[in-house]
Amino acid sequence: MSLNPTYKAYLVKFQPLIALFILCLLLSILSNKFMTVDNGWNVMRQISVNICISVGMTLVVLTGGIDLSVGSVLAFCGAIAAGLLKNGISVPSNNLFIGFTLLGAIVAGTLVGTLMGSFNGYTITKFKVPPFVATLAMLTIGRGLTMLYTNGFPISSLSSNFAYIGTGWFLGVPVPVWISGIIVAIAVIITNKTALGRYIYAIGGNANAARLSGINIKKITITVYSIAGALAAVGGIIVTSRLNSAQPNAGISYELDSIAAVVIGGTSLSGGKGTIMGTVLGAIIIGVLNNGLVLLNVSPFWQQVVKGGVILLAVIIDRANSKSE
């Protein structure tokens, strides 16, 4: 290779960004609807849910784990928030009724997500269940709980205030974009500037060494899965609000889109290496790709093939880079 090593390092570092730029360039040539302000916000709004989930997923993957349950947690927490907002909790036998404000319902939904995440973390650390299996179980459990809670029917006709979260605008920017933006900002600070963040990388890089350095691995792992659960719940609330309805089958296969964003963003599935901003770029690439394929009238079946191909390509390029290091 005659390429100057510094340039090459930059090229590798900004690879996802370059890919995104080329993708956007291509789409704006192929479709005159792509490079418009409306479409831009549209894409951003669509990917904000995936970004919320993927930020949590990135933290989990950095520790060397994986969270397959995010889609189900999203559905269950969305349903809980919607149900509490609409019906509250009533226990007729005791003549008890607890109503929920908008904020109350949102907090409750997020709390449930956190609990589900911490349960994942608990089974993984306490009983040494591999993360893949523990969260696979939670994927099924969460979906079942959603069906139980909703009886399999959507919970609809929620308040217009609630709809603001998913459909509203604030200072000229869609509210979900604000939410995901704030989450990303906090996560970037956590990963770069806090002990928690460093411990996450340390555990993913070498759990033995991390433990011998005095890091409480169980605590950090449970925290990370709890964060992933909470962020899935936030995603669930955004989805529910956007449709103004909690769908019992919301979020199916969202975990795969999320893992795809993490992987395209250059995070290693074996842990210890990766960044939040990489994942954000990964999510944007998937979002732009989805959007572009729709604008170009590509059949949904082909869309899936293309998406799969892009994931594969991203990982192959990543492998090639880490090999040449």
Residues in the site for other proteins, rule: CB under 8 A? Answer: 5, 189, 192-195, 197-199, 201-202, 205-206, 208-216, 272-273, 325
Cβ 175 to other proteins shortest distance, Å:
28
**248 and 263 in contact (C-beta within 8 Å)?**
no
Based on CB atoms, which residue is closest to other proteins, 103 or 212?
Answer: 212
Based on CB atoms, which residue is closest to other proteins, 22 or 189?
Answer: 189
Cβ 302 to other proteins shortest distance, Å:
38
With residue 89 as reference, give the H or E element that holds it: strand 89-91
Cβ 206 to other proteins shortest distance, Å:
5
Cβ 220 to other proteins shortest distance, Å:
11
Helix ranges (H only) for 127-159 are 131-150
Helix ranges (H only) for 168-299 are 175-193, 195-205, 207-212, 217-243, 254-264, 276-295
Based on CB atoms, which residue is closest to other proteins, 119 or 199?
Answer: 199
Residue located via tokens 């191909």: 309
Based on CB atoms, which residue is closest to other proteins, 21 or 193?
Answer: 193
Q: Residue 170: beta bridge partners? A: 173
Based on CB atoms, which residue is closest to other proteins, 89 or 185?
Answer: 185
Cβ 55 to other proteins shortest distance, Å:
18
Closest residue by Cα to residue 250 from 263, 232, 262: 232
The CA-based diameter of the chain, rounded to the nearest angstrom, is: 79
